[in-house]
Structure 1
């Protein structure tokens, strides 16, 4: 599992990409298609046509980092496209990256603080 900084923006490309593309080609694609600066620290997630592979691109202040992952026995479960956008929380993204169905992940409930009767 990769560790993401708190509050980092995660952008998922809504269309599959050619997985022969390397880091610089994906950065150029992100700038052109997603309208984002790939050198701003944003995490960019790209998927293959078969949805069994994912490439993650980010900038870590010293260079581009490209992470490539392929699931052996299943496919990644992608969220639906709503208004042209895919949205996931950090917890849902961690589940997606681990190959877990992100729809089964639930946010932790806040535990109420006990109060002392007055």
Structure 2
């Protein structure tokens, strides 16, 4: 988790084939699931949010072991639950209206 702005944006561009300036947030988690970085573009430049857990580990959503994708989409609300230590698989979601994209 030593990478910073240029290294992380290079991973997004070269390995994921995406553009860091497209408005998405890119999440990087270390192997031990104790460190998390979020890279995204704000007005004027790139921003990194860095979180290092003092105790415990992040609980990630289940991923199919046969899936070889280099990136995954996640809802912002699911990311916030991961950061707050809430298991997304145990959450019961109520029915809500979603706007069309």
Q: Normalized against structure 1, the TM-score is what?
A: 0.69
What CA deviation, in whole Å up to 9, does each residue of 1:41-61 have, x standing for no partner? 110000011101100000012
Shift of 1:34: 1.0
Unaligned runs of 5+ in 1: 1-18, 111-118
More helix by share: 2
Provide the C-alpha distance between the structure 2 equivalents of 1:88 and 1:104, rounded to a whole number of angstroms: 16
The aligned residue for residue 113 of structure 1 is: none
Per the alignment, residue 6 of structure 1 pairs with none
Structure 1 runs, 4 residues or longer, greater than 3 Å off: none
Q: Which has the larger radius of gyration?
A: 1
Q: CA RMSD in A?
A: 1.9
Equivalent pairs counted in the alignment come to: 93
Partners of 1:24 and 1:108 lie apart in 2 by 40
Which structure carries more relative contact order (alpha carbon 8 Å, separation 6+)?
1
